Amino acid sequence: MSSQYPGMIESALFSRDVIAEIQRAATEGIYDIRGWGAKRPLPHFDDLVFLGASMSRYPLEGYRERCDTSVTLGTRYAKKPLELKIPITIAGMSFGALSAQAKEALGRGASAVGTSTTTGDGGMTDEERAASSLLVYQVLPSRYGMNPDDLRRADAIEVVLGQGAKPGGGGMLLGQKINARVAGMRDLPPNIDQRSACRHPDWTGPDDLEIKIRELREITDWEKPVYVKIGASRSYYDTALAVKAGADVIVLDGMQGGTAATQNVFIEHVGIPTLPALRQAVEALTELDMHRKVQLIVSGGIRTGADVAKALAMGADAVSIGVAALIALGDNSPALDEEYRKIGSRAGCYDDWQAGRDPAGITTQDEDLASRLDPLLGGRRLANYLRTLNMETQIIARACGKSHVHNLEPEDLAALTIEAAAMAGVPLAGTQWIPGRDGRF
Amino acid sequence: MSASETLPTTRVVDLRSSTVRELNQALHDLPPDAALSRWEVRSAAGEHALAVGINAPCTVEIKGHVGYYCAGMNKHAEITIHGNAGTGLAENMMSGRVVLRGNASQSAGATGRGGLLVIEGDAAARCGISMKGIDIVVRGSVGHLSAFMAQRGRLVVGGDAGSALGDSLYEAQIFVRGQVTDLGADCIEKEMRAEHLEALGALLEAAGVNLPARAFRRYGSARTLYHFNVDHADTY
């Protein structure tokens, strides 16, 4: 129904967005590819609230009393676990998808606040290694740039099974982003579309993965934590199998998690939101008596300290950010609106990260565009943002009476919708009712 | 570790009394100039991840069958396995030489970026999958989807090749002496010119495989899928 044009009825089912997409498909004969994560409304952390301290809970003084935020990752097997000062990490994003300047800025920002950043498909660059005090090295199905020397100089290893934007999918880095350096790192000719496989080439299931992880540990003398990253779908079982396979850390990416380039239909319709995926993962860890022993990092839609605090309260050990980190660097800045309009988009809507024409110099390999991003300034902006997230998390934790952000717990939460209550496993606000579980309304 | 000196430069490690961890750690502790370091590994007994991540020009002889990922990510070392190998033999090898006297399971030489892998028997499915510069010489036959998405390097097959050979191939070259069940998407037979005969002959000689280069046919990428085009959708 439309109130914009009285008397004329606009279809809710065939909205103007739907009409535009049908007509675009009819014109071009191919699906829409874009970056970012799911954009449609989904149950999320916004549907939860904290129950601050009151008569029965004792708060901590917001500006005086200590509230720690440190987190240790990789305590299960690794000789050298990662010690992070804040429970917020930078997600894997490739050099290739991002400019070298952007990768360096991410490393600088993360290092400034004592947290880790992560490589991506395409290997490790010297700039990001130098800029990152703690760098997680991804082992992906494509194995682009895979190098044992980089394994040895990494601080942790992340075996990537999937990502929230496209569980079960591979990737495609379009030719316009494949300059000579990117191509050289990937052992492929420049300017051609580079397909990233969806399956690993040398293992096929959890039993094989266990042996693969053992090989990676042997190569690195059991020093590095080994993460397993999964896209949120069958999160309960995937978490349990990752534990069985020997993961030190599980990275769980909900469908709001970003991607550099994937079909829109994939992003919006495959996988489940972060909220239920996180609850399922924590349930699996708890049932295996592995909660807090195998650490859990959750990503997909983390924007504020409130999101961080809610993820930790639900049982995560840390969170990871990708899209938000790029926005902190300057992606989709209103100051660039005029330039976004020139390429058919607008500030706030720009998601053609696959196209390589990013006026912010982040999702591009064009030298002129990439030079617009100052890695020093970008690093400072990211550090500022990370500090803000951390302080916001502490504010909430203190209000709930917690001297460490990991002391937040599901009991501190209530849900605003029945859906969120069911998905997160916390009571609907004002009740003791968790849909799907025994309890009183 | 129960290593003993049998020759001045040969150390023997028996995996009945030493662990895989101890073996790999000792190999990792070798200095970069360990050219004269010779190792013999006994009682391999299907252990996984044997001699992985070596970063020195040593020589390793492994007696017995090996499990998954033997010689994985090798740099510089010459490794010979006197037995059969499980999944992922010499996966992601960077340089050096790995010789398998027996048969290899699937994904042999997967994603290898350099060096030479010689398989004197047969190799199962996905031999050379996503290879990135390695040379693989198989005296016998290879299974289906070998050289799948192979990017760079050469896969030489002295016997037959299973279905979907070279599917979605990039710039790797494939040479097969026997029958090919069928070719994968975008893989085509190409002319064997003089320079190919010469290069293949040198590779066969380096691998110690006594087969005439002229008996092989050459396959490579048609390069029609290098840029995604909706008109190619039926190809996949």
Same domain, A142 and A280: yes
Least confident interval from A173-182, A243-252, A418-427, B55-64:
A173-182
Q: What is the value of pTM for the model shown? A: 0.95
Burial of residue B159 (number of CB atoms within 10 Å: 0-12, 13-18, 19+): middle
In a domain, A427, yes or no: no
Note whether A202 contacts B87, CB cutoff 8 Å: yes
pLDDT on residue B226: 86
Give the list of residues 6+ apart from residue A140 with CB closer than 8 angstroms, or none.
Answer: A120, A121, A160, A196
Same domain, A63 and A86: yes
From the list B28, B68, B228, the residue facing A211 with the nearest CB is B68
Q: Which residues of A touch B19 (CB under 8 A)?
A: none
Note whether B149 contacts A202, CB cutoff 8 Å: no
From the list B25, B129, B151, the residue facing A187 with the nearest CB is B151
Whether chain B has a CB inside 8 Å of the CB on A208: the answer is yes
- Give SS3 for A77: coil
Same domain, A144 and A23: no
Per the listing, tokens 């998390």 go with A393
Whether chain B has a CB inside 8 Å of the CB on A207: the answer is no
d(CA A410, CA A426): 6
Same domain, A56 and A15: no
Question: Distance between alpha carbon A349 and the CA centroid of its chain, in Å?
Answer: 19
Q: Which residues of B touch A222 (CB under 8 A)?
A: 21
Same domain, A24 and A173: no
- Give SS3 for A326: helix
pLDDT on residue B225: 87
Whether chain A has a CB inside 8 Å of the CB on B55: the answer is yes
The four Cα atoms A58, A62, A68, A71 give a dihedral, to 10 degrees, of 100
Question: Distance between alpha carbon A407 and the CA centroid of its chain, in Å?
Answer: 23
Same domain, A298 and A386: yes
Whether chain B has a CB inside 8 Å of the CB on A211: the answer is yes
Q: Which residues form the domain of A342?
A: 33-408
Nearest CA in chain A to B230: A30
Tens digits of residue pLDDT in B176-221: 999 999 999 999 999 999 999 999 999 999 999 999 999 999 999 9
Size of interface A-B (CB pairs under 8 A): 107
pLDDT on residue B8: 47
Q: What residue segments make up the domains of chain B, in order of their start?
A: 4-223
Assign A406 a pLDDT band (cuts: 50, 70, 90).
very high
Whether chain B has a CB inside 8 Å of the CB on A198: the answer is no
Note whether A143 contacts B132, CB cutoff 8 Å: yes
Tell me the average pLDDT across B20-40. Answer: 91
Which B residues 106-125 touch A at CB under 8 Å?
Answer: 107, 110-111, 113
Whether chain B has a CB inside 8 Å of the CB on A197: the answer is yes
Same domain, A46 and A100: yes
Question: How many CA atoms are closer than 13 Å to the CA of A415, on its beta-carbon side?
Answer: 23
Which of B52, B117, B186 is the best substitution to test chain A (most A C-beta atoms within 10 A)?
B52
Average pLDDT, chain B: 94
CATH number at residue A122: 3.20.20.70
CB atoms within 10 A of CB B185: 17
Whether chain B has a CB inside 8 Å of the CB on A153: the answer is no
pLDDT on residue A2: 54
pLDDT on residue B192: 97
Whether chain A has a CB inside 8 Å of the CB on B25: the answer is yes
Same domain, A200 and A153: yes
Options 2.160.20.60, 3.40.50.460, 1.10.10.10, 2.40.37.20; which CATH number does B4-223 get?
2.160.20.60
- Give SS3 for A110: helix
pLDDT on residue B9: 75
Same domain, A265 and A300: yes
Tens digits of residue pLDDT in B78-122: 999 999 999 999 999 999 999 999 999 999 999 999 999 999 999
Tell me the average pLDDT across A74-84. Answer: 98
**Among candidates A134, A53, A52, which has minimal Cα distance to A88?**
A134
Whether chain A has a CB inside 8 Å of the CB on B221: the answer is no
pLDDT on residue A182: 86
Per the listing, tokens 């299931």 go with A205
Note whether B49 contacts A201, CB cutoff 8 Å: no
Tell me the average pLDDT across A40-60. Answer: 95
Q: Indicate if ipTM > 0.90.
A: yes
pLDDT on residue A440: 46
Chain A nearest C-alpha distance from B206 (Å):
23
Q: Is the pLDDT of residue A237 over 60?
A: yes
In a domain, A419, yes or no: no
pLDDT on residue B236: 62
Chain B nearest C-alpha distance from A81 (Å):
19
Tell me the average pLDDT across B45-72. Answer: 97
Tens digits of residue pLDDT in B211-236: 999 999 999 999 998 887 777 767 66
Percent helix / strand / coil, chain A, rounded to 5: 35, 15, 45
Q: Say if residues B178 and B159 touch (Cβ distance below 8 Å).
A: yes
pLDDT on residue A6: 86
Assign B5 a pLDDT band (cuts: 50, 70, 90).
very low
Tens digits of residue pLDDT in A273-330: 999 999 999 999 999 999 999 999 999 999 999 999 999 999 999 999 999 999 999 9
Q: Which residues of A touch B28 (CB under 8 A)?
A: 221
Pull the structure tokens for residue A57: 């809970």
d(CA B219, CA A391): 60
Same domain, A10 and A64: no
Note whether B73 contacts A175, CB cutoff 8 Å: no
Whether chain A has a CB inside 8 Å of the CB on B93: the answer is no
The residues that bridge with B54 in the sheet, in sequence order, are none
d(CA B104, CA A317): 42
Pull the structure tokens for residue B223: 């390069």
Whether chain B has a CB inside 8 Å of the CB on A193: the answer is yes
From the list B111, B152, B171, the residue facing A201 with the nearest CB is B111
Average pLDDT, chain A: 95
Assign A441 a pLDDT band (cuts: 50, 70, 90).
very low
Structural domains of chain A, count:
2
